[in-house]
Chains A and B, each alone.
Chain A
């Protein structure tokens, strides 16, 4: 009843081609953005900003990057964390070595650097596919971390290889409280997410999907494989690079190469698998699931244990948390192999017909 597009007539091409063609969607997205930009900053506590919301947004962005590559262009990659590392170190070096560079510009440059590196490691994708490509991108994971440890110039000769990010200042305003950092991250993520949404339905996005579904057929109908695949690597790495820069500057404040481990790449991959491969929304849902559920269990389990008078130490809680988390992942994969985004899609279809499904 509420979610029905009957009566919404499109009278121009512009109206037909807009990002969210259904009016309810437009209102929903605007509401969501309003809540995120106005409501949350008014209500959330410092803990929520710096421990939950900021990492959630940053990992959603990284997942989005991987989703572009894996979900839309069909190229499996295990190097996301490495591209984040490139972004983090590049942003740090741009800030350090270019006098007076605005922070946002150095984030963009970090993204571009990561894109360049991504293209380089995307070259094998022209010859190999599937699991073999995943193994080839593993090389990126190891090589980049090694490179950042090996060359002290990249970490400004820090004796330990750890970099501490510079303070953020935008147009003379210092961004140092968790709330301000959250708003900065939110703005960047919202912008890039909308851009991605737009990109995947453009001719570029359609070319990616054609390559994903069958690359021989795609090349027969005139899609050039090399630029298409490499562009996917570039865009994906750009997103990961920006996410890495935000991770260093707005979340941890100091990072070391070993922090961007293979574990982190896997985590990002799991996010898109759980959230939904080939879906923008899925990246956000997956990031929320993977990041927030453990924290929720961490807080809820001792409380539940206290209710029943069970003596849970923090180690026990941690073990149970891993157990429950694993079980939930399997549950979701069995019940809905296409991810959380697919559940949302089904809900939307049901809503369209509600309350008269026949």
Chain B
């Protein structure tokens, strides 16, 4: 009985505390969070948004917000459903009129649906590692930020990693691209095709139909092709099935490299020993050895304000990814306050400026205790991505171990693809691109 009452009481205390806090501090920075914790991908959302909210709480507890501006937020459940996402966005929009942090939907579909709306409403849309990737070109997409890195740059970075592994040349080699046959899986194809033409390797594309729990034919084909590497773009149940499929046909797992949506604990643990040796790209490392993650556990969970019910998930890939996304968002608020006045909440328009002028250096990451959690980031009007770097991590059967430093994709090859695509979008929509030379 006591157990049941406790969370209730603490929540009441928490809300009271928040109320009094709200009365004391006039300025509040609001974060609209259209997220998901139920539905088919609910487990992923719990870890991601758990990390996100925990970090916001952490900043509130540790430093009383950003320069005294308390961080507030409201979550709305989207269930990874586009229509629900739009409804949530519209609902949260009213509250975000005064002050708004970046919006993270963690869904490519919802981001696509919000791109035009958010630009109209002047609310910044962050798509950290997903979303409409040609929004890297900020002249056409002022309010959309595919921060850190994109699918295309990731694919290019993976190719570079493979190239190093194979002795510096890919000429005459063969790479199989095994992908989820959806918007997500197809995004990387243009980049891989460009890399194949440049590096003269053969690219074999093998799609897997959603949801991907039947891959017998695909793996037989892979066995016939005998590729030097398999680049793998899976999602959900498809990931463990692929690992088991590879085991069945005897394809070595240490020659499979997945995207960052195939490289979390949720993907490899169900595959058992079939996953051992498997590699995946990531833009944030896992584990509690990162100082800020350990500190969150101490400060936030110590105060009983943790967002996760299952504490064991602290330090998982997706949890750390949520923390990284929150670090980016809070740093943007900090940056914006430097320009628009310290101790003042930022409007969506001001946050947009901040996101476009982010400069998170290695020194800053160290000060935050986030060294190696995420790469350095420096954004600008014509580069909303800001980094383009990933790490390759390997599953040793119990945890993810980074096996490379930060690898940058071939920007000179990939970014023109974004610009061409953004230009086409601008033409279709009748948008006149901004002149980035004039932006500051």
Which A residues are closer than 8 A to B by beta carbons?
A: 46-47, 50-52, 55, 96, 146, 149, 159-162, 164, 166-167, 251-256, 258-259, 295, 298-299, 309-311, 313-315, 317-319, 322
Contacts and interface: CB of A to CB of B under 8 A. Distances in A.
B112 A254 contact: yes
Interface string B88-122: 00110110000000000000110011011100000
A298 B117 CA distance: 22
Given A149-B182, A161-B182, A298-B77, A254 B429 contact: no
15 contacts: A51-B87, A51-B91, A149-B182, A159-B189, A164-B116, A167-B429, A167-B430, A254-B112, A256-B182, A298-B77, A299-B91, A311-B7, A314-B76, A315-B37, A318-B38
B190 A253 contact: no
Contact of A159 (B112, B113, B187, B209): B187
B75 A314 contact: yes
B12 A252 contact: no
Contacts of A315: 37-38, 42, 46, 77
A356 to B, nearest CB: 46
Contact of A258 (B38, B76, B116, B210): B210
A254 B190 contact: no
A160 B115 contact: no
Nearest to B110: A252
A18 B425 CA distance: 49
A314 B74 CA distance: 9
Contacts of B385: none
Contacts of A258: 109, 182-183, 210
B183 A166 contact: no
A166 B428 contact: yes
B37 A318 contact: yes
If over half of B's interface residues share one DSSP class (helix, strand or loop), that class is named, otherwise mixed; here it is helix
A309 B7 CA distance: 12
Contact of B38 (A46, A162, A251, A319): A319
A314 B37 contact: yes
Interface residues of B, number: 45
Contacts of A167: 429-430
Contacts of B421: 159
> What 7 A-B pairs come out closest when comparing CB atoms?
A311-B11, A160-B183, A315-B37, A51-B90, A314-B75, A318-B77, A51-B87
Interface of B: 7-8, 11-12, 15, 35, 37-38, 42, 46, 75-77, 79, 82-83, 86-87, 90-91, 93-94, 108-109, 112-113, 115-117, 132, 181-184, 186-187, 189-190, 209-210, 421, 425, 428-430
Contacts of A47: 90-91, 93-94
Nearest to B93: A47
Contact of B86 (A251, A256, A311): A251
A252 B15 CA distance: 35
A161 B210 CA distance: 14
B348 to A, nearest CB: 15
Given A146-B209, A162-B109, A315-B37, 8 more contacts: A46-B90, A47-B93, A164-B425, A166-B428, A252-B86, A299-B91, A311-B15, A318-B77
A254 B38 contact: no
A280 to B, nearest CB: 24
Nearest to B38: A318
A253 B87 contact: no
A251 B86 CA distance: 9
Nearest to A247: B83
Contacts of B76: 298, 314
Contact of A309 (B8, B42, B187, B428): B8
A50 B86 contact: yes
A267 to B, nearest CB: 10
B37 A252 contact: no
A159 B86 CA distance: 23
B96 to A, nearest CB: 12
B112 A51 contact: no
A160 B91 contact: no
